[in-house]
Amino acid sequence: MKDGQVVKGIQFKNHEIVGDIIDLASRYNYEGADELVFYDITASPDRRSVDRKWINLVAKEINIPFCVAGGIKTIADAEEVLNYGADKISINTPALKNPDLIEQLAKRFGSQCIVVGIDSFAIKKDYKVHLYTGDPDQSKESNKTTNSWINEVQDRGAGEIVLNCMNQDGVRKGYDIDQLREMRNLCKVPLIASGGAGKMSDFYDVFNQADVSGSLAASVFHKKIIDILDLKKYLQQKQIEVRL
């Protein structure tokens, strides 16, 4: 999401516009997506919060849960997003800047609606958390390893973790199975795989080999490379439990 449009980049750069928010949300709702996630990628680097009017329009349109991410820095930000009709909020950079925020949000709204997004960059098997990833000029490494941050956010009350493997983002070469499998073992809460889906077998592999609770993808759906219903039928044939 950037300026009211849905955009998608490659490894967090060179974003192109892929469609109007409401049209896309209702298409995915209709095609059988189990949940939608909206990232306002410009929110944190611009030091501003999300423009939230569109959340209400999405909530009126779709009948599946959805999560909003981007620049939620305070209880008041979160409350506004949830009041507009989002089911969950996802925090990333603000959680790294102020880890207490996770506890505060979990205590106020319940862990079930607090998702922590983690952007993890791999250098061989060394996984580091990055922040401000919405803007290529500001994106930088934090001082945390992905492993330690995954443990910490759960201790602080995160109800779900979306792990975005940055090396894989937008390149459609498959999920980072090794990393996801390693992190799955640290997770007591649902772990959602993100980054790298390119073909249907990538989804099968990530469920089958990394045992993740869910998989998140953008490019392949935005560009109509994969149809959600076809994907779910394929996964069901391969004995992966899906809602059809």
Partner 1 sequence: MPKNTIAIVNAGGSNISSLTFALDRLKANYTTTNQIAQIEDSSHVILPGVGAAYDAMGKLKKSNLIEVVKNLKQPTLGICLGMQLLLEYSMENNVNCLSIIEGGCKAFTQQDKYPVPHMGWNNVKFNKISPLTEGLKSEDYFYFVHSYYVPISDSAIGITDYSESFTSIIQKDNFYGTQFHPEKSSDQGSKLLRTFINL
**Closest CB to partner 1 among residues 64, 122:** 64
Q: Which of 96, 90, 92 is nearest to 144 (CA)?
A: 96
Write out the two tokens for 74.
Answer: 């305070």
Site string for partner 1, 193-232 (x = CB under 8 A): --------------------xx------------------
Beta bridge partners of 36: 66
Q: Report in angstroms how near the CB of residue 62 gets to partner 1 at its nearest.
A: 9
Q: Which of residues 161-180 bind partner 1 (CB under 8 A)?
A: none
Say if CB 52 and CB 81 are below 8 A apart: yes
The C-alpha angle with vertex 231 and arms to 70 and 117, in degrees rounded to 5, equals 20
The C-alpha angle with vertex 179 and arms to 176 and 181, in degrees rounded to 5, equals 100
Task: Please tell me whether residue 159 binds partner 1 under the rule CB under 8 A.
Answer: yes
**Closest CB to partner 1 among residues 12, 28:** 28
Rg of the chain (C-alpha set): 17
**Closest CB to partner 1 among residues 77, 169:** 77
Q: How many residues bind partner 1 (CB under 8 A)?
A: 26
Q: Which of residues 26-45 bind partner 1 (CB under 8 A)?
A: 29, 32, 34
Q: Which of residues 50-89 bind partner 1 (CB under 8 A)?
A: 56, 59-60, 63-65, 82-85, 87
- Overall residue count recorded for the chain in this entry: 244
Q: Report in angstroms how near the CB of residue 63 gets to partner 1 at its nearest.
A: 5
3-state SS, residue 11? coil
Q: Which of residues 93-112 bind partner 1 (CB under 8 A)?
A: 110-112
**Closest CB to partner 1 among residues 130, 156:** 156
**Closest CB to partner 1 among residues 174, 214:** 214
Write out the two tokens for 220.
Answer: 């392949």
**Sign of the CA dihedral running 61, 63, 66, 71:** positive
Q: Report in angstroms how near the CB of residue 178 gets to partner 1 at its nearest.
A: 21
The span from the CA of 166 to the CA of 151, in Å, is 19
**Closest CB to partner 1 among residues 34, 141:** 34
Task: Please tell me whether residue 140 binds partner 1 under the rule CB under 8 A.
Answer: no
Say if CB 158 and CB 114 are below 8 A apart: yes
Q: Which amino acid is at 205?
A: D
**Closest CB to partner 1 among residues 98, 185:** 185
Q: Which class for 157: exposed (0-12), middle (13-18), buried (19 or more C-beta within 10 A)?
A: middle
Q: Footprint of partner 1 on this chain (CB under 8 A)?
A: 29, 32, 34, 56, 59-60, 63-65, 82-85, 87, 110-113, 159-160, 188-190, 213-214, 243
